[in-house]
Each structure stands twice: as structure tokens, then as C-alpha cells.
Chain A
Amino acid sequence: ETGVTQSPTHLIKTRGQQVTLRCSSQSGHNTVSWYQQALGQGPQFIFQYYREEENGRGNFPPRFSGLQFPNYSSELNVNALELDDSALYLCASSARGTQETQYFGPGTRLLVL
């Protein structure tokens, strides 16, 4: 069984730039959720994708957007980067059901200068 993978592992950008983060879900999982984890904080829910559509969104501005592909992999795009976007971005995959459990990938650490 293949676990959740994310790329890249680290990224440095400057304010105003755009970034795309990628996630491959665990084998057999059809749902992908994205979280932002700032230093010393718990992960914050950004949004979730199921069947290639956004299925729930947290308190993040529209410059955070995403996609899910037919193979259930997903992208997180962030436009007009701000310094506060510096964080660990986590992707979690799950199988749709009544008690779905989310399994996290290794994360992408983004630094915005």
C-alpha cells in the first residue's frame, strides 16, 4: 500500500509570488484535505476535495485554491503570497465513509520572504 506523498518538501518564495503544492493520495483513498500548520499551532483546515470538487472550506481567502484530478491526486495553489503564508502545508487522504480517518503526508514547508 502506497502512503500519501507530497512535493516539494521545502520551498522558498518571495511576497507576491504564486506557489503550487502537490499531493498524491494513499491507495484506495478518494478524498484529499489540505491543512496549514503554523509554527507552534495545530493544523488549520483549508479545504477538502472529493470527486474532483471542493467539499468544504475553512477560513482561508480565495487566493488559496485547489484541484483534484481523476486519479485523486490534488494541488494546492496560493496566489499573491504573504509573509504569514509561511507554514507547513499538510495533505491528508481518506476514504469517503461515515467514520473516515485522515492520513497525512510528510508536508511541504513553505517559507515566504
Chain B
Amino acid sequence: QKEVEQNSGPLSVPEGAIASLNCTYSDRGSQSFFWYRQYSGKSPELIMSIYSNGDKEDGRFTAQLNKASQYVSLLIRDSQPSDSATYLCAVSASGTYKYIFGTGTRLKVLA
């Protein structure tokens, strides 16, 4: 089992729809969770961080964390073509400061 798992996609949604990206992790002691966006040929850009169970909203983005189910998700409302990118889920391993990344989910927003 991979430490952080994401569906590689591509996930295609029409413009204006809600995109739902999911991530599961194996280390129950993980404490910090991050979503990064990566455009092709560019470096990852932080979108959201979440540390407690529940929802955290920032503009069109909502991160959801469920530690009991070892699941973190990212919702993008009113998706725009400019949201088309690979979304990386990162988990901070317990007892360390390193991030463990999933392979990313490629999102395509269709105009």
C-alpha cells in the first residue's frame, strides 16, 4: 500500500462545476495535510493546509479532513479552465518534518 494515494485521473469537469479530489494516507499519526497545485513544467504551489478534522474553506477551495478514515479531500467550486493542473496531496509524516506526496490527480476543466 502506498503511503499517500490519489487517483491519477484525468478528472474532467465542465466549467462552473464542482471538482472533487480525494487522497488517502496510511500513517495514522500524520498531523499536517496539504494540497498543492502544479501546472505542467512548473513547481508545486500551495493551495491549502489543514490540520484538524472537518472543513476549511478559502475562496473557491474547501479542504476536508477525516483522520478516522485517513482521508483528505479538496473541493473546487465554480471550476475554471485555469484550474486545469495536477493537484498533489502531501502529508507530513508523524515525528518528522518531511512531506510525503501522492502521485497527483490531473484535473481538466472543460470550457
Give A contacts to B, CB under 8 Å.
31, 33, 35, 40-45, 48, 50, 55-56, 58, 88, 90, 92, 94, 96, 99-107
Residue tally, chain B, CB below 8 Å to A = 23
Q: Which of B31, B44, B49, B98 contacts A58 (CB 8 A)?
A: B98
Contact B88 A43 (CB under 8 A): yes
Report the bound CA distance from A50 to B98 in whole Å.
Answer: 12
**CB within 8 Å of A: which B44-94 residues:** 44-46, 49, 51, 88, 90
Beyond A42-B88, A99-B51, A101-B49, is A106–B98 a contact (Cβ under 8 Å)? no
- Which B residues contact A (CB, under 8 angstroms)? 4, 31-32, 34, 36, 42-46, 49, 51, 88, 90, 96-104
Assuming A56-B98, A92-B99, A99-B51, what are 11 further A-B pairs, CB within 8 angstroms? A35-B101, A42-B101, A43-B88, A45-B100, A56-B96, A90-B44, A103-B46, A104-B44, A104-B45, A104-B46, A106-B42
Interchain CB contact (< 8 A) of B43 among A41, A90, A99: A90
